[in-house]
Amino acid sequence: MTTKRRYIALIRKNLGDRLNIREGVAPNELYLSLRRESLGTLPETCSLLTRSFRANFTTLVANDERSLNGTFVLSYVFSVPTDDLFLILQVPVEPRHMEVPSVSHVLESANWFEREVKDWFGIVAFPNIYRLASHPDWPEDVHPMLKDFDPQTSVPRVRGSFDFKHVEGEGVFEIPVGPVHAGIIEPGHFRFSVAGEPIINLEIQLFYAHKGTEKIAEGMSPQRVVFLAERISGDSSFGHAVAFCHCMERLSRCEVPRRAAVIRTMLLELERLYNHTGDIGGILLDVGFAAGAAVALELKERLLQLNELLTGSRLLRGVAAIGGVRRDPEDTPLKRQALADMLVRGRQAFEDLVSLVMSSSSVLDRLETTGILSHTDAYRLGITGIAGRASGMNRDFRRDHPHCAYGPLTFRVHTSGEGDVLARMRVRIDEVRESFSIIEQLQLQDPGEPARTGVVTVPPLQQALGYVEGWRGEIVHWAMTDAEGNIFRWKITDPSFHNWRAITVAVRNNIIPDFPVINKSFNLSYSGNDR
């Protein structure tokens, strides 16, 4: 891989004095370990990497490796979209001095990641010391992700109350919403400061749906963790499962059969289809256009029923497996016919829906200029997926880091510059059209070939990334195996974790009654964020 050589040479020449370079198991990963004495240059190194390689901050992984080499390791993962490469900057942290300099001032998208690491591992990214994941009634010095914390311990509750930013002034008041909402919505607390109707500030408190998924997985066999991955976020069941399988396959240098890659791609697109149509319906429902919403939700239901017919699960669960897929969705004439039908009738129904929506001036009036997320803010906060693309961020893992069978496919990455609710809906509409075309291209490719390789043995003490462009955005998993080949550490990054901050920016100066539709246009996962 010559591009990789080029990167190694370039990094060695410019940063060789402060870091060591090592190639990963997976072909497109480059591990850069910052030397202990150069810890102070961490923010500068991060900003150099992002600026010189046009790299995007993807995730931050903390790993308690005290049992292996006596230190903690922080891995800052950067994606280089131009050359399909991941740069993983690793920083050792001494247990005696659990502190690193914060990189948030040069890389604002890392802010929440640093705060989560502080809550779960006790590693402080100074001066970014604010709590995020653990609530105020959780003791300050208990860090559940440390290896010596037993998940069975019952932790005493302490006194504490949420500390929200207060806006003061005449006519300014606060509206608390949640964490229990009307309707079937996940839990989250929203604190609005408003002056009449316009929103001055919004603070969001999440992590009510924390399930300790990453902790539970430790010591589990990778085959079992696939089922855990399917339950990270219900609407991205297949995306997360494939991201994890991808991670394990890269870690064990296992090549999945071509047919399996085709099926995965097809099902990822089916997941995108049902979620995008459902979101369009949700947006219409939130502006009170129930007749349009009914059409969209009907199509979503038909897509879910197609999923069930093809795979036995409406949410595409139980299909992904390490080394391939468990089922072939095109193995009977009935299934092939149903899929072909959807490509004709589903498409038609979708186009009817689009013309219904786009010809309704009262709907467009509600969506235009509502909840604008500027390109600057989207770039600054590292917003991914549809939300990012609607604000002009031309990023898509399907094109930038081809996985599954996306490489040879022809499809366009649609972006929009407006960044309002309508832009997010338009990007969804365009992506639905692309998805139909992708499924059409994949239909009956290499049918009947085996879709799963034999037993995959996962090697011990290896680490790798696995990723997928889910319907919401990039899903990135990072895992490391222990001496038995079981999971030692598993870090899940759901796109929602990047994107929740976008909502607080996008709602500013909008009016209170427009919040639900702005929120819906992002449609972020609480469960995926809280894990």
Partner 1 sequence: MSDVLTFVLPALLQLVLVLVLAPLICGIIGKTKARFQHRQGAGILQPYYDLAKLLRKEVVISSVASWVFRCTPYLVFASTCLIALLVPTVVVPLPLDRVGDIITVISLFALGRFFVALVGLDTGSAFGGLGASREMSIASIIEPAMMLAIFTAAVTAGSTNLSIIVAKLSSTPASMMNPAHLLAFSGLFIVTMAETGRIPVDNPDTHLELTMIHEAMILEYSGRYLAFVEWSSQMKLVIFLALLSNMFFPLGMAASMSPWALCVGGAAFFAKVIVLAAVVAVVESTNAKLRLFRVPELLMVAFILSLLALILYFIIGA
Minimum CB distance to partner 1, residue 521 (Å): 14
Q: Is 289 in the site for partner 1 (CB under 8 A)?
A: yes
* Region binding partner 1 by CB under 8 A among candidate stretches 218-226, 323-331, 365-373, 497-505: 365-373
Binding mask 138-177 for partner 1 (x = CB under 8 A): -----------------------------------xxxxx
Residues with Cβ within 8 Å of 361's Cβ and at least 6 positions away in sequence, in order, are none
Q: Would you say 130 or 173 has its CB closer to partner 1?
A: 173
- Measuring CA to CA, which residue among 7, 467, 491 is closest to residue 268? 467
Residues with Cβ within 8 Å of 136's Cβ and at least 6 positions away in sequence, in order, are 158, 160, 161, 162, 163
Q: Would you say 68 or 177 has its CB closer to partner 1?
A: 177
How many Å apart are CA 518 and CA 177, to the nearest integer? 15
Q: Are 245 and 411 in contact (CB under 8 A)?
A: no
* Region binding partner 1 by CB under 8 A among candidate stretches 59-67, 212-220, 284-292, 336-344: 284-292
Minimum CB distance to partner 1, residue 281 (Å): 11
Q: Are 179 and 188 in contact (CB under 8 A)?
A: yes
Helix (H/G/I), strand (E/B), else coil: 24: coil
Minimum CB distance to partner 1, residue 361 (Å): 9
* Region binding partner 1 by CB under 8 A among candidate stretches 227-235, 290-298, 429-437, 461-469: 290-298
* Region binding partner 1 by CB under 8 A among candidate stretches 81-89, 270-278, 363-371, 420-428: 363-371
Restricted to residues 511-530, the positions that interact with partner 1 (CB under 8 A) are: 511-516
Q: Are 311 and 267 in contact (CB under 8 A)?
A: yes
Copy the structure tokens of residue 228: 């855990």
- CA R_g for the chain: 23
Restricted to residues 322-361, the positions that interact with partner 1 (CB under 8 A) are: 360
DSSP 8-state class, residue 22: E
Minimum CB distance to partner 1, residue 312 (Å): 27
Q: Is 284 in the site for partner 1 (CB under 8 A)?
A: yes
Q: Is 288 in the site for partner 1 (CB under 8 A)?
A: yes
How many Å apart are CA 216 and CA 226, to the nearest integer? 12
Q: Are 414 and 276 in contact (CB under 8 A)?
A: no
Minimum CB distance to partner 1, residue 449 (Å): 41
Q: Would you say 216 or 364 has its CB closer to partner 1?
A: 364
The string of DSSP letters for 393-459 reads ----HHHHS--TT-TT--------SS-SHHHHHHHHHHHHHHHHHHHHHHTTSSTTS--B-SPPPPP
Q: Is 296 in the site for partner 1 (CB under 8 A)?
A: no
Q: Which residue has the tokens 């948030």?
A: 104
Q: Are 525 and 231 in contact (CB under 8 A)?
A: no
Q: Are strands 71-80 and 85-93 parallel, antiparallel or unpaired?
A: antiparallel
Q: Would you say 103 or 518 has its CB closer to partner 1?
A: 518
Restricted to residues 465-484, the positions that interact with partner 1 (CB under 8 A) are: none
Q: Would you say 259 or 520 has its CB closer to partner 1?
A: 520
Q: Would you say 9 or 195 has its CB closer to partner 1?
A: 195
Neighbours of 198 (CB within 10 A): 12
Helix (H/G/I), strand (E/B), else coil: 92: strand
Q: Would you say 139 or 513 has its CB closer to partner 1?
A: 513
Minimum CB distance to partner 1, residue 229 (Å): 32
Minimum CB distance to partner 1, residue 499 (Å): 20
Q: Would you say 363 or 506 has its CB closer to partner 1?
A: 363
Minimum CB distance to partner 1, residue 188 (Å): 14
Restricted to residues 192-211, the positions that interact with partner 1 (CB under 8 A) are: 196-197
Minimum CB distance to partner 1, residue 309 (Å): 22
Minimum CB distance to partner 1, residue 496 (Å): 20
Nearest 5°: phi and psi at 219?
90, -10
* Region binding partner 1 by CB under 8 A among candidate stretches 213-221, 227-235, 309-317, 362-370: 362-370
Q: Total number of residues binding partner 1 (CB under 8 A)?
A: 32
- Measuring CA to CA, which residue among 175, 305, 303, 315 is closest to residue 238? 315
- Measuring CA to CA, which residue among 49, 57, 107, 24 is closest to residue 474? 57
Binding mask 47-86 for partner 1 (x = CB under 8 A): ----------------------------------------
The string of DSSP letters for 487-504 reads EEEEEEE-HHHHHHHHHH
How many Å apart are CA 434 and CA 62, to the nearest integer? 37
Q: Are strands 463-469 and 474-481 parallel, antiparallel or unpaired?
A: antiparallel
Q: Is 303 in the site for partner 1 (CB under 8 A)?
A: no
Give contact residues for partner 1 (rule: CB under 8 A). Answer: 173-177, 182-183, 196-197, 284, 286-291, 293-295, 298, 360, 362-363, 365-366, 370, 511-516
